[in-house]
């Protein structure tokens, strides 16, 4: 049984994703700084496991301060540019950023490979109180499966296990990225994948193609 006993929802998440690894403590100063952007339930997790990876690096719970500049760059020139309630709280091995809005939940995901901001407009319409928001944070973790964060190749086959075997584990600043950019005609194949620095990959992806906002009714 896991040594991390927060709530039934996170216990279920751990049963699906395994124990946290590559743990880095998140300073109390960051918790104070993000109190107006993230729910207190997440801070409980932070104090227990810190910034860390799950399922061999497929999914990462992150320190949002490490992604602040990257998020600002993606949102520059979009309708979200002036919002001050947004923060990255998780990311995948393939660099997809999960963005939380205070009192509203996970309202967008950023895919650097296609330069797309997936926007969950319905989630962004409501405003929860603290209890409701904490429940939604717990529900976010327990509602996910590893397949939700994998990436498919051109044949619609999952890439993560094959990338892990070929390219090995990721460090906390790394991701699996396409050496030949998809925006420039690269293919979604294992042979085109490499280990890259997440911040640099996102920066280049944003420069090569202006982000497209895709609104999803979820």
Supply the pTM of this predicted model. Answer: 0.94
pLDDT, one tens digit per residue, over 136-189 is 999 999 999 999 999 999 899 999 999 999 999 999 999 999 999 988 889 999
Residue 134 lies in a domain: yes
Residue 33 lies in a domain: yes
pLDDT, one tens digit per residue, over 117-133 is 999 999 998 889 999 99
Residue 212 lies in a domain: no
Q: Can you give the CATH number for the domain in which 50 is found?
A: 3.40.1580
How far apart, in Å, are the Cα atoms of 130 and each of 38, 110, 137?
10, 25, 11
Whether the Cβ atoms of residue 20 and residue 58 lie closer than 8 Å to each other: no
Residue 158 lies in a domain: no
Domain count for the chain: 1
Give the structural domain span for 14: 8-150+197-207
pLDDT, one tens digit per residue, over 11-46 is 999 999 999 999 999 999 999 999 999 999 999 999
Whether the Cβ atoms of residue 24 and residue 53 lie closer than 8 Å to each other: no
Residue 12 lies in a domain: yes
Residue 88 lies in a domain: yes
| pLDDT band at residue 218 using 50, 70 and 90 as cut-offs | low
Residue 92 lies in a domain: yes
Whether the Cβ atoms of residue 113 and residue 182 lie closer than 8 Å to each other: yes
**Residue among 43, 39, 45, 174 nearest 105 (CA):** 39
Residue 168 lies in a domain: no
């Amino acid at each position: 049984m896991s040594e991390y006993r927060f709530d039934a929802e996170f216990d279920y998440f751990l049963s699906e994703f395994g124990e946290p690894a590559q743990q880095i403590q998140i300073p109390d100063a960051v918790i104070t700084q993000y109190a107006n952007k993230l729910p207190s339930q997440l801070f409980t997790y932070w104090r227990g496991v810190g910034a860390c990876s799950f399922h061999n690096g497929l999914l990462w719970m992150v320190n949002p301060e490490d992604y602040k500049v990257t998020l600002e760059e993606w949102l520059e020139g979009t309708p979200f540019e002036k919002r001050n309630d947004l923060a990255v709280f998780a990311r995948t091995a393939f660099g997809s950023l999960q963005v939380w809005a205070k009192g509203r939940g996970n309202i967008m995901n950023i895919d650097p490979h296609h330069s797309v901001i997936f926007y969950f407009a319905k989630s962004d319409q409501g405003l929860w109180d603290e209890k409701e928001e904490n429940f939604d944070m717990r529900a976010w973790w327990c509602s996910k499966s590893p397949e939700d964060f994998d990436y498919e190749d051109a044949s619609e086959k999952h890439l993560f296990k094959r990338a892990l075997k070929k390219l090995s584990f990721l460090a906390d600043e790394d991701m699996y990225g396409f050496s030949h950019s998809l925006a420039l005609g690269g293919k979604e194949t294992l042979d085109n994948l490499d280990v890259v620095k997440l911040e640099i990959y996102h920066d280049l992806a944003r420069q090569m193609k202006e982000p497209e906002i895709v609104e999803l009714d979820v």
